[in-house]
Amino acid sequence: MYGLVNQAVEDFVRRGFGDAAWQRIREGAGLSHEMFVSMDGYPDEVTYKLVGAASEVLNLDAAQILESFGEHWVLYTAQEGYGEMLSMFGASLEEFLGNLDNMHSHVGLTFPDLRPPSFQLERVDGGRGLLLHYRSERMGLAPMVIGLLKGLGRRFDENVVVRQTAHRGLDDHDVFRIDRIGPVAAGASPQQ
């Protein structure tokens, strides 16, 4: 994975749990370097080790960490200069989700070794519900996708309920159902 992902993990931990927690996680993951370079590639194992160490240090399940990190990723990437690019690929949640593969192709121009997942969107219940089919060579990231979908719901000012309806291993890919239950409540600001 690119350093940008690991930088976002660091930002997530520091903002939510403090610098001392990050130091313990870094040490628990056996990382000797002080920082990640966003455009450099790192073995996937580094990210998985960070999640494992975070689970131990923060006393949370890895799935909880990945889901919370997924929500954070939406905010983080927008703050790191990718907000305009995110806006290019959709003005609504449904439009954006339908363009995820196109967005990853575009991102691949900047990150040439990117190995992105693939997504297929399906409308159900007259468009009120959506099914997102998720295929990835990486295992264990479904909870992160749930968090991403929740974060994107907020970004597009939509309250969503997300649940996984098919699991890779039992099926050939993961499927997530997204039920849109209306706009975000007054006073709650969507992520920029």
Give pLDDT tens digits for 54-110.
999 999 999 999 999 999 999 888 888 777 878 889 999 999 999 999 988 988 888
In order of 50, 152, 161, the CA distances from 24 in angstroms are 10, 30, 34
pTM, rounded to two decimals: 0.89
Q: How far apart are CA 15 and CA 44, in angstroms?
A: 23
φ/ψ (deg, to 5) at 52: -60, -45
Spatial separation of the C-alpha atoms in residues 87 and 51, rounded to whole Å: 29
Strands (DSSP E) found in the chain: 118-124, 129-135, 158-166, 174-183
Fold of 92-183: H-NOX domain (3.90.1520)
